[in-house]
Amino acid sequence: MIKPEVRKDYFKDEYVIIAPNRARRPMEPKSLPTDAISTCHFCPANFKGETIAYQDNGYAGDWEIVSVVNKFSALTLDNHSAYGQAEVIVETRRHGMDINDFSIDHIVRILDAYIDRFMTLRNIDGIKHVVVFKNEGGKAGASLSHTHSQVIALPVLPHKIESEARAYNKYRIEHTTCPYCDIIVAETDKPRVIWEDENVFVLSPYASDAPYGAWLMPKRHIALIADLTKSEKESFAKAMKVVLGTLDKYAIPYNYFIENSVNNEDYHMHIKLAPRPNIWAGLELGTGVIINPITPEFAARLYRGQIKSGVYSRF
């Protein structure tokens, strides 16, 4: 039994309590409910007057990936009191698929859709930040089972993003190096490595604030998702299949979001994956101090396929 341990983030003043709880471990589910196709808003047959912002086929013939303006969004570009835009990227025409079921080429095309929407929306006057993210599974906030991602253009720079940028810049000034480049070097060959190839490094971070949390980082120091080469995008797609396929196998709901440079400042872009198998309790809501019942070292072993399936019980 591993004793609980308080851990500090690599470079931010954030703490997490890693408190392994053997009674709560994942197990493969028998089956999952799927929403009906007839009522699915994201099945092409049910599209009604959608405003299409992006199509992967250049608007010629049937699309496979499309971005539509969310007509139920609280933020719109014609309301100065709640200015912004929300879009839903429908990742496939087919209902009931998961992103990890797709081919490498298909996931690369989803990344291309992220890039197009991120770069287009961030250039709109009055937009301060664009967040690209995905919720998968009921507990993580998704209400539909047709696989999709979301892009939201905000009129403000959120505090959490600003504080990450500030901590990044402080580290850069003090060390003259990039914290994420340093993390990749420091964690290489450590037990928290999940997967890597020549382009991408996937890590279960030392002070992970989410059970099974993972960071997907390009090895090259680049600021924006739009800076990824074709080969780097393919590596990201392979890495996503590994980590998201594992979470899918154990029916663990997740969020991931893409962290990009803010205001064209220096940064090391990456994808942060935050599974949400437990509900935040009072300590976390009241103080921001998070208890993570899964050690990052155990999470890395699960992602690497080194934990025998079915041996452990559910959370």
- Residues engaged in binding Zn ion (CB under 5 A): 40, 42-43, 95, 146, 178, 180-181, 221, 268
* Tokens 């120091």 found at: 221
Shortest Å distance, C-beta 187 to Zn ion: 13
| Angle, vertex CA 254, rays to CA 294 and CA 40, nearest 5 | 155
By beta-carbon proximity to Zn ion, the closer residue of 97 and 274 is: 97
By beta-carbon proximity to Zn ion, the closer residue of 63 and 83 is: 63
Shortest Å distance, C-beta 40 to Zn ion: 3
By beta-carbon proximity to Zn ion, the closer residue of 98 and 297 is: 98
By beta-carbon proximity to Zn ion, the closer residue of 63 and 180 is: 180
The two structure tokens encoding residue 185: 């070097």
Shortest Å distance, C-beta 115 to Zn ion: 19
Shortest Å distance, C-beta 309 to Zn ion: 29
Shortest Å distance, C-beta 106 to Zn ion: 16
From CA 221, how far away is CA 202, in angstroms rounded? 15
By beta-carbon proximity to Zn ion, the closer residue of 219 and 276 is: 219
DSSP code of residue 311: S
Exposed/middle/buried for residue 84 (C-beta within 10 Å: 0-12, 13-18, 19+): buried
By beta-carbon proximity to Zn ion, the closer residue of 17 and 181 is: 181
The two structure tokens encoding residue 51: 């405003």
Shortest Å distance, C-beta 308 to Zn ion: 35
By beta-carbon proximity to Zn ion, the closer residue of 9 and 297 is: 9
Shortest Å distance, C-beta 239 to Zn ion: 17
Beta strands in the chain (DSSP E): 5-8, 15-18, 52-55, 66-69, 85-90, 129-136, 148-154, 193-196, 200-203, 214-218, 254-259, 270-275, 290-292
From CA 177, how far away is CA 183, in angstroms rounded? 11
Segments in the chain forming alpha helices (H): 104-122, 159-175, 179-187, 230-249, 282-287, 296-303
By beta-carbon proximity to Zn ion, the closer residue of 95 and 276 is: 95
Shortest Å distance, C-beta 42 to Zn ion: 5
| Angle, vertex CA 65, rays to CA 37 and CA 117, nearest 5 | 125
Beta bridge partners of 8: 15
Is the separation of the CB atoms in 249 and 28 below 8 Å? yes
- Please state, as a whole number, how many other Cβ atoms lie within 10 Å of the Cβ of residue 284: 17
Is the separation of the CB atoms in 197 and 238 below 8 Å? yes
